[in-house]
């Protein structure tokens, strides 16, 4: 045993999988004839199934939100600081569910899955999915788990977008929607960044139009570049400066193109470690999910009208240093919710960590979550 597990952790957890032997019609018009969802749960579902919380992951996240898979794990799940016994989303009181989304690469049906038509992995032929499709698949998971209504759906970034979509698509199945560091749709600049990321992957000589699984090599360099670019947009200028400044790895300028500044080695490290755990086709696909997200598309661009069916109470949270989905974007969501007369609270939390703030244990941020979930726990008591 290499480590002990902290007492406020959900501890050792096992991912579970559910096979859905039914077709799923996608927004694009394509269809999955059947599909799998891999997910984790923490805490216990209460008698009247009223304490379930759905956690929606962002671009590079997965179902492993909290706890450890084995004693050798160096790091816990991606949102372990927020979810666990006594934590803001308290697993002593809530039953927390987090699936890996369709199109991902952590076990749920996606580009790595065998395409029944060819007997080979889908790769680039995996149909384009959308946030609506994800929410639909999550609702089927809820059915399977006996959850008729979520006490809360919570997510940051792309996860927050799923939370919004839940409130719109299933107004009677969600009591509270937490929309953190999100946007009502991507800005042109956001899409531009995604396109550079995709082009980095596509121009990798090993990409082979996405059919690289049978080859010896994958488009690692392209994916690494995409991640490096993404990572810059997740952090703030101040944060990078504070963390690395212009520090040189060897203490002196070498007048060459090797890694010199510490930020360079940091980005390369981030890029390389990402390649080990993520699939390039999934990355391409999920950046498209982001690009296409626009709940107001069906209401002629009127976001307030899109929110009209929602019944949930909304908590919208932004971060002062987030420039990828800046506070002003959260404010657009708030404004539309106000126009639609919805119950909503909004706070802009001061932070220096940029877009990544939503993953950080910033005291005020966690206090807001803790306070809101406290209230929800009171309302959902059996």
Partner 1 sequence: MTELRTDQALIAEWIKPGSRVLDLGCGDGTMMAHLQQKCDVWGYGLEIDEENIVKCIASGVNVIQTDLDAGLSEFDEESFDYVIMTQTLQAIRYPDRLLNDMLRIGREGIVTFPNMGHWKCRLQIALKGMMPKSRTLPYEWYNTPNIHMCTLKDFESLCRKVNIEILQCTTVDYAHRSNLGMRLFPNLLGEIAIYRFRRYQAN
**Which spans of this chain sit near partner 1 (rule: CB under 8 A)?**
315, 331, 334-335, 338-339, 343-350, 364, 367-368, 371-372, 374-375
Alpha carbons 132 and 150: distance in angstroms, whole number: 17
| Strand segments (E) across the chain | 16-20, 24-25, 31-32, 35-42, 52-56, 83-84, 89-90, 95-99, 152-156, 176-180, 313-319, 344-349
Least Å from the CB of residue 349 to partner 1 = 8
Active-site residue identified among 63, 330, 355, 356: 355
The β-bridge partners of 53 are 96, 152
Least Å from the CB of residue 350 to partner 1 = 8
Q: Which two tokens stand for residue 297?
A: 């598309």
Catalytic residue list contains 64: no
Q: What is the largest CA-CA distance in the chain?
A: 68
Residue with tokens 């399977």: 144
Catalytic residue list contains 2: no
Least Å from the CB of residue 150 to partner 1 = 19
* Whether the Cβ atoms of residue 100 and residue 107 lie closer than 8 Å to each other: yes
Least Å from the CB of residue 340 to partner 1 = 11
Active-site residue identified among 139, 322, 351, 357: 322
Least Å from the CB of residue 142 to partner 1 = 26
CA distances 70 to 67, 90, 184, 226, 282, Å, are 9, 22, 38, 30, 26
Identify which of residues 148 and 371 has a Cβ nearer to partner 1 in the complex. 371
Identify which of residues 224 and 349 has a Cβ nearer to partner 1 in the complex. 349
Q: Which two tokens stand for residue 280?
A: 């390039």
Catalytic residue list contains 237: no
Identify which of residues 217 and 345 has a Cβ nearer to partner 1 in the complex. 345
Active-site residue identified among 108, 137, 157, 220: 157
Specify the long-range contacts of residues 274-279, CB closer than 8 Å, at least 24 apart: 274/60, 274/223, 274/224, 274/227, 275/218, 275/220, 275/223, 275/224, 275/227, 278/60, 278/105, 278/223, 278/227, 279/105, 279/110, 279/111, 279/112
How many residues in the chain? 382
Identify which of residues 191 and 304 has a Cβ nearer to partner 1 in the complex. 304
Least Å from the CB of residue 315 to partner 1 = 8
Task: Give catalytic residue positions.
Answer: 157, 322, 355
């Amino acid at each position: 045993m290499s480590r002990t597990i902290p007492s406020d952790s959900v501890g050792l957890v096992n991912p579970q999988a559910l096979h859905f032997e039914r077709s799923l019609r996608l927004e694009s018009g394509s269809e999955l004839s059947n599909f799998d969802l891999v997910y984790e749960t923490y805490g216990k579902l209460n008698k009247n199934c009223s304490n379930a919380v759905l956690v929606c992951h962002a671009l590079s996240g997965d179902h492993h939100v909290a706890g450890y898979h084995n004693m050798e794990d160096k790091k816990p799940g991606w949102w372990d600081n927020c979810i666990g016994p006594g934590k803001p989303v308290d697993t002593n009181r809530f039953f927390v569910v987090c699936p890996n989304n369709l199109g991902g690469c952590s076990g749920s049906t996606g580009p790595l899955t065998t395409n029944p038509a060819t007997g080979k992995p889908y790769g680039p032929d995996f149909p384009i999915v959308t946030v609506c499709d994800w929410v639909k698949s999550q609702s089927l998971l809820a059915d399977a788990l006996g959850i008729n209504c979520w006490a809360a759906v919570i997510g940051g970034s792309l996860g927050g977008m799923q939370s919004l979509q839940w409130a719109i698509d299933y107004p009677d199945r969600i009591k509270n929607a937490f929309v953190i560091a999100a946007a009502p749709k991507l800005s042109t600049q956001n899409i531009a960044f995604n396109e550079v990321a995709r082009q980095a992957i596509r121009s990798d000589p090993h990409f082979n139009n996405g059919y690289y699984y049978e080859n010896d090599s994958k488009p690692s360099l392209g994916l690494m570049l995409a991640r490096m670019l993404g990572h810059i947009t997740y952090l703030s200028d101040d944060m990078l400066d504070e963390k690395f400044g212009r520090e040189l790895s060897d203490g002196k300028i070498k007048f060459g193109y090797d890694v010199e500044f510490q930020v360079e080695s940091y980005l390369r490290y981030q890029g390389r470690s990402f390649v080990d755990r993520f699939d390039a086709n999934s990355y391409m696909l999920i950046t498209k999910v982001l690009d296409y997200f626009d709940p107001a598309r069906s209401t002629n661009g009127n976001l307030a009208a899109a929110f009209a069916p929602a019944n949930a109470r909304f908590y919208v949270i932004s971060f002062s240093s987030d420039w990828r989905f800046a506070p002003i974007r959260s404010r657009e969501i708030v404004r539309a919710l106000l126009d639609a007369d919805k119950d909503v609270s909004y706070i802009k939390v001061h932070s220096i960590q940029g877009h990544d703030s939503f993953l950080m244990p910033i005291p005020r941020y966690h206090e807001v979550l803790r306070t809101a979930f406290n209230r929800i726990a009171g309302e959902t008591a059996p």
